[in-house]
Amino acid sequence: MAEFCNHSPFDLIATLGLSPEANQRTSASDLDDGIKCTLMTFPDDTKLSGEVDTSEGRATLQEDLDRLEEWSNKSLIKFNKEECKVLHHGKHNPEVQHRLGSTWLESSSVERDLGVLLDNKLNMSE
C-alpha cells in the first residue's frame, strides 16, 4: 500500500475483475503493455491507480483505462464493469468521472479488498 501514501490526490479504479474464464484462456502477461499508471493484477482482479491532481494525470489515467479496454477487446476477455468502482483519495481531489469503454464507472467511498475495507481516506477495517 506504500505507493498510495503520497500527498497528491489519486484515483484507484478498483475491481476491474476479469471474468473467471480469463485465467483459463490467457496469461494476461501483456495486460500492462503501454500502461503508465500503477497497475496491480491478481488472479481474478485488476486495479489501476494514478495521480489526478493535474489535467495530464487525469488524461493518463483515462488513456490507461482505454488501453485496458482495447486489451479486453483484442483478447476477448471482458472486465466486470458492473463491479468496477472508483475510490477518490486525497484532499482537493477533483473526483473526475472515468469510463471503461462506453461505461461510466461509479464512485465509491469505501471498497472491500481481500476482506478488508478501504475508504477514501485510506483507513482500513475488517
What is the block-wise mean pLDDT of the chain (126 residues), using blocks of 10 residues? 50 62 56 89 82 92 94 86 86 90 89 72 70
* Sheet strands side by side (includes 45-51): 38-42, 45-51, 10-14, 85-89, 106-108
**How many folded domains does the chain comprise?**
1
> What is the pTM assigned to this prediction?
0.79
Work out whether strand 10-14 and strand 45-51 pair parallel, antiparallel, or are unpaired. Answer: antiparallel
CATH number at residue 56: 3.30.70
**Would you say 95 and 87 are in contact if contact means Cβ atoms under 8 Å apart?**
no
- Domain assignment of residue 95, given as a range: 2-125
Cα separation, 68 vs 98, in Å, equals 13
**pLDDT score for 20:** 47
